C-alpha cells in the first residue's frame, strides 16, 4: 500500500508515532491525524473490534481516504473481563486515569484477590484499517489484534505511560533481566512498545498493509 493513511485520532503526535513504527516495519505511508473538526460517532459497540470499526468507517467515509482506528483496554479475569471496552470510563465518563486505577484496585481488594494468580489480566488491542466506500457502499477492511498477558500489581508503580500502566505487570520479560516484575509505567517507551498489545497489533497488520496495491 502506498499513499496516505488517516488515523481516527486528532492527536498529531500519535499519528507521527504510528508512522515511525510502520516505517520501521517497511511500510512507507504518509500517516496523518484526522481533521480536528471531524467528529467521530460514539464508541458504543460491545467489543473492541466494533468500536475500532465505528471509528475507521466514519473517518474513511468523511475523508475519502484509507483510515486506521484502534480500540484497546484492560480485561481482568476476577472482574469477569472488566473494565473491557469501558476501560477509559471505568470510574465514570469524566474519570481520570488515577480514578480508574483506584476503582480497579478497590474492586480486587473487595474480592479478596491478593496473589498474582488471582489478579490475572491482559491488555488487548484491536486495529481496523478501512477503505473509503466505493459507489455501491462496499469497503475493504483489514483487522488485527494484539494481546499481552500479565497481572495487576497491588499498588501503582512507575511514572511512565498512561491509563492502567502503573498497575499492569506483563508476563513477558523485557529489558533488565535483574529487574523482573516491572509495571508498564516502570519501563521505557521502547521496552513497553516491544511487548505491548498495541505494538503487537500494529506488527500484525503491517503485512496486510504491505499486500495492498
Question: Which CATH number characterizes residue 181's domain?
Answer: 3.90.950.10
71 is catalytic: yes
Alpha helices in the chain (DSSP H): 12-24, 48-63, 97-110, 189-195, 197-211
The pTM of the whole model exceeds 0.95: no
* DSSP code per residue over 172-203: S--S-TTS-S--GGGS-HHHHHHH-HHHHHHH
Question: By the 8 A CB rule, do 123 and 93 touch?
Answer: no
CA separation (Å) from 132 to 14, 72, 136? Answer: 22, 23, 11
The total domain count for the chain is 1
Give the model's pLDDT for residue 19.
84
Q: Which of 71, 80, 136, 176 is catalytic?
A: 71
Domain around 55: 4-211
Tens of each residue's pLDDT in the chain, 213 residues:
668 899 998 878 778 878 888 888 888 888 899 998 998 888 899 999 999 999 999 999 999 999 999 999 999 999 999 999 999 999 999 999 999 999 999 999 999 988 999 999 999 999 999 999 999 999 999 999 999 999 999 999 999 888 999 999 999 877 665 567 899 999 988 888 889 898 899 999 999 998 887
Question: By the 8 A CB rule, do 22 and 47 touch?
Answer: no
Give the model's pLDDT for residue 176.
61
Burial of 187 per CB tally in 10 Å (0-12, 13-18, 19+): buried
Cα–Cα distance, 191 to 120 (Å, whole number): 21
Residue 98 in grid coordinates: 488515577
Query: Cell match 484492560: residue?
Result: 74
Q: 141-152 and 168-170: which strand pairing? A: antiparallel
Residue 167, classed as helix, strand or coil, is: helix
* Other beta carbons within 10 Å of 96: 10
Amino acid at each position: 500500500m502506498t499513499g496516505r493513511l488517516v488515523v481516527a485520532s486528532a492527536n498529531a503526535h500519535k499519528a507521527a508515532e504510528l508512522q515511525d513504527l510502520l516505517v520501521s516495519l517497511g511500510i512507507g505511508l504518509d500517516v496523518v491525524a484526522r481533521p480536528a473538526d471531524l467528529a467521530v460517532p460514539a464508541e458504543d459497540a460491545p467489543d473492541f473490534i466494533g468500536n475500532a470499526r465505528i471509528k475507521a468507517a466514519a473517518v474513511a467515509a468523511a475523508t475519502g481516504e484509507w483510515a486506521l482506528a484502534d480500540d484497546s483496554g484492560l480485561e481482568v479475569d476476577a472482574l469477569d473481563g472488566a473494565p473491557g471496552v469501558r476501560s477509559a470510563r471505568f470510574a465514570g465518563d469524566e474519570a481520570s486515569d488515577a480514578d480508574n486505577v483506584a476503582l480497579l484496585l478497590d474492586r480486587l481488594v473487595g474480592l479478596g484477590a491478593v496473589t498474582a494468580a488471582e489478579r490475572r489480566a491482559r491488555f488487548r488491542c484491536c486495529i481496523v484499517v478501512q477503505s473509503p466506500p466505493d459507489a455501491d457502499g462496499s469497503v475493504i477492511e483489514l483487522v488485527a489484534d494484539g494481546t499481552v498477558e500479565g497481572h495487576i500489581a497491588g499498588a501503582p508503580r512507575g511514572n511512565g505511560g498512561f491509563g492502567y500502566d502503573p498497575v499492569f505487570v506483563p508476563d513477558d520479560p523485557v529489558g533488565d533481566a535483574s529487574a523482573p516484575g516491572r509495571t508498564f509505567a516502570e519501563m521505557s517507551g521502547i521496552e513497553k512498545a516491544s511487548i505491548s498489545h498495541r505494538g503487537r497489533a500494529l506488527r500484525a497488520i503491517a503485512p496486510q498493509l504491505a499486500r495492498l496495491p
